[in-house]
Amino acid sequence: MDRRTHHPLKPERRASSWLGRERRQDPFYHGTADTLDHALKATLAKLTLNVSPASLWMAWFDWVVHLQLSPSKQQQLLQEVGRKLLQWQFQQLHAAGLPDGEDEFVEPLPQDRRFADLAWEQWPFNVISQGFLLSQQWWHRATTGVEGVSRHHEDVVTFMARQLLDMMSPSNFLLTNPVARRDTLRSGGMNLLQGLANQLNDAERYVTGRPARLQDAFQVGGNLAVTPGKVVFRNRLIELIQYAPTTPDVRAVPVLFVPAWIMKYYILDLSPENSLVRYLVQQGYMVFMVSWLNPCAEDRDLSMEDYRRMGVMEAIDAVTRLTGAPQVNAVGYCLGGTLLSIAAAAMARDGDERLASITLFAAQVDFTEPGELSLFIDESQLSLLESIMWEQGYLDTKQMAGAFQLLRSNDLIWSRRLNQYVLGHPEIQNDLAAWNADATRMPFRMHSEYLRHLFLANDLAAGRYEVDGRPIAISDIRVPFFCVGTLTDHVAPWRSVFKIHLLADAEITFLLTSGGHNAGVISPPGHARRSFQLATREAGTPYVDPDQWEAGAPQYEGSWWPAWEAWLAERSGPRVAPPAIKALCDAPGTYVMVP
């Protein structure tokens, strides 16, 4: 596929492009000295797995110095060492069946399934696992509660200690893992041979750049993203998909999805049984979807303003023009929700009333508590990241995936390696895993602006974020919100998502669902073990904090999709004849196919 075909509007460049005199005035332009700095840092990043050693050193130094200045904390930790050793000795006696042993075993955290198998209750593996859990407890106490250490540095040190402990967990090694030993004996060692084959296959794919195994079984346009539709609009940054109606009439107010540009849009249109798009089309909605361009080096100067203007505003223009509807119900997912909120605030400021409602899926507008991703965002780390993007022109998919894997290293790194390389299990194949392997890049300028203005400076929540040279405020938005948080979200923690209540004066319906950032959103009816809480705050009513809300909001079993659809139906007008579709090409389009 010719990469150039994906820039149909490329000749039209913005006046603020990095050209001539304006380029030298651009804050992202660097002279020769800065070029040398960036080159050095980019080279360093290749040796440090894209992690700033200065950031880690400052966090460690902060912790060590303040720990040295806290003799009472040191005394507590020494006493704790003695108690842990004594407890472990009693556990060994108990495991050996001696009468002096005490039954005082440490329970893993609820989400830690490494020692769930009954084989871990047998000697000596119960003693080994208990020693690890006791060490884990001690290190958590050692890295937290040291007076004087900054909150960010404490989080970084605690995180790094957890990474080292997870790496040394007895569950990772054949000799100390009873489940792995049992499977090896049962299979006569065939699991090890299969694990070696899996490892060699993954290494070969990594070296050659071939797609992951999951993408052999799942194909976009084959068994993913197959809801019928047409690309009806295209610019340099997006393709806009309009889905074909399946009902005789449709709701008058169309639905426009703005997914995050960090992901391929078909997270919302997976296999037919897991497709939110298909679900809405079957309920009689006119559904439109933004499909983002997967940028390359020549797109390095695309900015946040480009994403707002070409991604959201031109999509709204196209939807209203093609349907004749004066308003749209806009839906934003993750970063797409943040961008939609920025666009909506600018529209409210300027008197643009084309939004009937706003739905946000796991999207943040306040970044004071952005979750564990903040571990990778400080001035030192961002400086290194900008140097990487300066050299490449974008942030690569592997560089982003590494950060997300570290946040859940126990599940995504060590457990995966155990299952595939030691136990010889095949990789889990499902549509969500296949989508997750199909990552995207992010252009230098946009990603740097996003991290600096939102993550670091929190300009949007503070009223400092500017659109067209003037500040915007979420409080200007008057249309109703429907906000979805997911209970175990590591990317956009639900309490952070809940902060919309502090910024918006409009009616807010908040829904908290079981699951994580992706699996919690993809929750079709009939999915087992799903539940959610739902409550509405009317405009102008007093604030309720997230803990009070969680304690008082009604609980419901099952998928949350029907509850959202009922809310959406109230804001979607009467049923009308479906509009004609003027196609550029068939869905899923061309942008989503760019690797």
Q: What pLDDT does 433 receive?
A: 86
* Whether the predicted pLDDT of 88 surpasses 90: no
Shared domain check, 261 and 152: no
* CATH code at position 275: 3.40.50.1820
On whether both 155 and 298 belong to a single domain, the answer is no
184, 211, 239: which is the final residue of a domain? 184
Q: Is the pLDDT of residue 466 over 50?
A: yes
Average per-residue pLDDT for the chain: 87
Whether 443 shows a pLDDT value over 50: the answer reads yes
Q: Which residues are catalytic?
A: 334
Helix (H), strand (E) at residue 120 = none
CB atoms near residue 476 (< 10 Å): 17
- Tell me the C-alpha distance between 337 and 268, whole Å: 14
Residues 335 and 272 in one domain: yes
Mean local confidence (pLDDT), 85-104: 69
Same domain, 169 and 59: yes
Residue 198, in any domain of the structure: no
Range name among 315-329, 494-508, 525-539 with the lowest pLDDT average: 525-539
Higher pLDDT, 33 or 155: 155
Please, which pLDDT band fits residue 211 given cuts at 50, 70 and 90? low
Lowest mean pLDDT among 408-422, 436-450, 481-495: 408-422
Last residue in a domain, options 128, 153, 184? 184
User: pTM of the predicted model, to two decimals?
Assistant: 0.88
The burial of 97, by beta-carbon neighbours within 10 Å (0-12 exposed, 13-18 middle, 19 or more buried), is given as exposed
Q: Which two structure tokens, joined as six digits, stand for 209?
A: 């750049």
Q: How many domains does the chain have?
A: 2
Whether residue 329 is found in the same domain as residue 464: yes
582-587: average pLDDT = 95
pLDDT digits (tens, 9 = 90+) for 312-370: 999 999 999 999 999 999 999 999 999 999 999 999 999 999 999 999 999 999 999 88
Lowest mean pLDDT among 163-172, 367-376, 451-460: 367-376
171: domain range?
53-184
Would you say residue 424 lies in a domain?
no
Considering only 65-69, 343-347, 419-423, which range has the smallest mean pLDDT?
Answer: 419-423
Tell me if 548 is assigned to some domain. yes
User: What is the rounded distance in angstroms from the CA atom of residue 332 to the CA atom of residue 360?
Assistant: 5
Per-residue pLDDT band at 5 (split at 50, 70, 90): very low
Residue 195 lies in a domain: no
pLDDT-derived band at 412 (thresholds 50, 70, 90) equals: low
* Percent over 90 (pLDDT), the chain: 62
Same domain, residue pair 156 and 283:
no
Same domain, 165 and 263: no
pLDDT at 429 (0 to 100)? 79
Task: Note the pLDDT tens digit of each residue in 134-170.
Answer: 999 999 999 999 999 999 999 999 989 998 998 899 9
Is residue 2, in this structure, part of any structural domain at all? no
Q: Decide if 402 is inside a domain.
A: no
**Same domain as 133, residue 245:** no
256 and 354 fall within a common domain: yes
In this model, does residue 266 exceed pLDDT 60?
Answer: yes
- Asked, for residue 91, whether it belongs to a domain, the answer is yes
60, 171: one domain: yes
Identify whether residues 357 and 262 lie together within a single domain.
yes
Q: How do beta strands 442-443 and 466-467 pair?
A: unpaired
Kindly state whether residues 255 and 350 are assigned to the same domain: yes
Is residue 72 included in any domain, yes or no? yes
Q: Residues of 326-342 as b/e, b for ≥16 C-beta within 10 angstroms? A: ebbbbbbbbbbbbbbbb
DSSP string for residues in 243-311: EPP-SSSEESS-EEEE--TTS-GGGGS-SGGG-HHHHHHHTT--EEEEEE----GGGTT--HHHIIIII
> Residue 77 is encoded by which pair of tokens?
């930790």
| φ, ψ of residue 151 in degrees (nearest 5) | -60, -40
Helix (H, G, I), strand (E, B) or coil at 489: coil
pLDDT of residue 227: 97
Residue 185 scores a pLDDT above 60: yes
What tokens appear for 429 in the block? 């194949």
pLDDT band at 15 (very low <50, low <70, confident <90, very high): very low
Residue after which a domain boundary falls, among 184, 218, 240: 184
Residue 17 has pLDDT above 50, yes or no: no
Which pLDDT tens digit goes with each residue over 290-314? 999 999 999 999 999 999 999 999 9
The answer on pLDDT for 13 being more than 50 is no
